[in-house]
């Protein structure tokens, strides 16, 4: 490999590292940092985009994040999810109707509720349905278009079904959550659905293990309601939880 080609490859690797660190690196900043022309940087960005490593924005780029399938996420942070799920299950009172979002932590919650016989559980999640298939409680599914990665239903049919129900409690999942931007998901169809779910419930809980706090891996957002409860596990560091408290958000560390 020639020195010129090696230099271009190393520059592109460095550009990707900068974008991952800052979330946005402008063409002008990169041009000054690497001592090359803006047109050279644009060519670098175009090649990184073509390789699926960056998504170009006005004046710069952001790193591309790929949504992990639910089967993979089910094996991550299992103890933390179990802790959160047990706390969430304790909040559910006899006779209530609760809504469970799709996701690995809400699936863990379904597992905790499976021994109950005094509830109605409504869900958009295939994995929640699987956990409750033989439970002695009423289970309802909000149908729609299936998202294979999340194993959940979304779309206009799901939204129409939601409009005909109300819930005592809604338990939502998230790919990430920040105090400034709220819930983060891979696409707007998911964040819109979460907002609609929250509107139909008296109490709303967002269940996220500590690794997801302060993270925004995607750019589809849903703001956190001021009366929602964010539930995480004891691994959450004090500085991160303080950031949520400083914005007046209700954050519970389950134990």
Residues 30 and 99 in one domain: no
40 token code pair: 């050279």
Residues 118 and 48 in one domain: no
155: left (phi over 0), alpha (psi -120 to 50) or beta: left
Residues 22 and 144 in one domain: no
Residues 223 and 126 in one domain: yes
* Angle in degrees, CA 154, 137, 69, rounded to 5: 35
pLDDT score for 16: 75
In DSSP notation, 86-151 reads HHHHHHPPTT-EEEE-SSHHHHHHHHHHTT-SS-EEEESBHHHHHHHTT-SSEEEE---EEETTTT
CATH code (residue 19): 1.10.10.10
Residue located via tokens 């991550």: 76
pLDDT score for 144: 93
In the chain, DSSP assigns E strands to: 54-57, 60-63, 97-100, 120-123, 138-141, 145-147, 152-154, 167-172, 176-178, 182-185, 201-207, 220-222, 229-232, 250-253
pLDDT score for 25: 54
Residues 106 and 196 in one domain: yes
Residues 81 and 59 in one domain: no
Last residue of a domain, one of 24, 47, 63: 63
φ and ψ of 169, to 5 deg: -145, 145
Residues 50 and 76 in one domain: no
Domain that holds residue 176: 70-253
CA 119 to chain CA mean position, Å: 27
Distance (Å, whole) CA 36 – CA 4: 13
CATH code (residue 184): 3.40.50.1360
Residues 114 and 97 in one domain: yes
Last residue of a domain, one of 29, 46, 63: 63
Last residue of a domain, one of 17, 41, 63: 63
Residues 53 and 79 in one domain: no
Which residues touch 244 (CB under 8 Å, ≥6 apart)?
Answer: 179, 213, 230, 251
Number of domains in the chain: 2
Residues 52 and 83 in one domain: no
Look at residue 20 and give its three-state secondary structure: helix
Per-residue pLDDT of the chain (255 residues; tens, 9 = 90+): 344 455 788 888 888 777 665 555 567 878 888 899 988 988 888 787 776 666 555 445 555 554 545 454 445 558 899 999 999 999 999 999 999 999 999 999 999 999 999 999 999 999 999 999 999 999 999 989 988 878 899 999 999 999 999 999 999 999 889 888 888 887 788 889 999 999 999 999 999 988 888 877 666 788 899 899 999 999 988 888 898 898 889 999 998
Residues 218 and 115 in one domain: yes
pLDDT score for 58: 47
Residues 93 and 188 in one domain: yes
CB 155 within 8 A of CB 145: yes
pLDDT score for 3: 47
Q: Which residues pair with 62 in a beta bridge?
A: 55
């Amino acid at each position: 490999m020639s020195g010129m080609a090696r230099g271009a490859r190393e520059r592109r690797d460095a550009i990707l590292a900068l974008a991952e660190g800052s979330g946005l690196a402008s063409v002008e900043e990169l041009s000054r940092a690497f001592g090359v022309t803006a047109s050279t940087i644009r060519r670098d960005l175009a090649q990184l985009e073509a390789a699926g490593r960056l998504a170009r924005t006005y004046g710069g780029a952001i790193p591309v994040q790929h949504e992990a399938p639910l089967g993979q996420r089910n094996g991550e942070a299992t103890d933390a999810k179990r802790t959160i799920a047990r706390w969430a299950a304790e909040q559910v009172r006899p006779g209530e109707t609760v809504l469970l979002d799709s996701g690995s932590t809400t699936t863990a919650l379904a597992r905790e509720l499976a021994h109950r016989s005094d509830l109605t559980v409504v869900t958009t999640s295939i994995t929640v349905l699987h956990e409750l298939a033989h439970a002695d409680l009423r289970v309802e599914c909000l149908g729609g278009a299936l998202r294979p990665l999340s194993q959940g239903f979304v779309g206009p049919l799901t939204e129409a079904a939601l409009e005909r129900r109300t819930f005592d409690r809604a338990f939502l999942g998230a790919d990430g959550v920040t105090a400034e931007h709220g819930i983060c998901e891979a696409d707007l169809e998911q964040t819109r659905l979460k907002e609609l779910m929250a509107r139909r419930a008296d109490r709303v809980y967002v269940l996220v293990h500590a690794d997801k706090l302060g993270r925004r891996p995607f750019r589809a957002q849903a703001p956190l309601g001021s009366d929602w409860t964010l539930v995480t596990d004891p691994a959450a560091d004090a500085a991160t939880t303080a950031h949520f408290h400083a914005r007046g958000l209700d954050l519970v560390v389950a134990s």
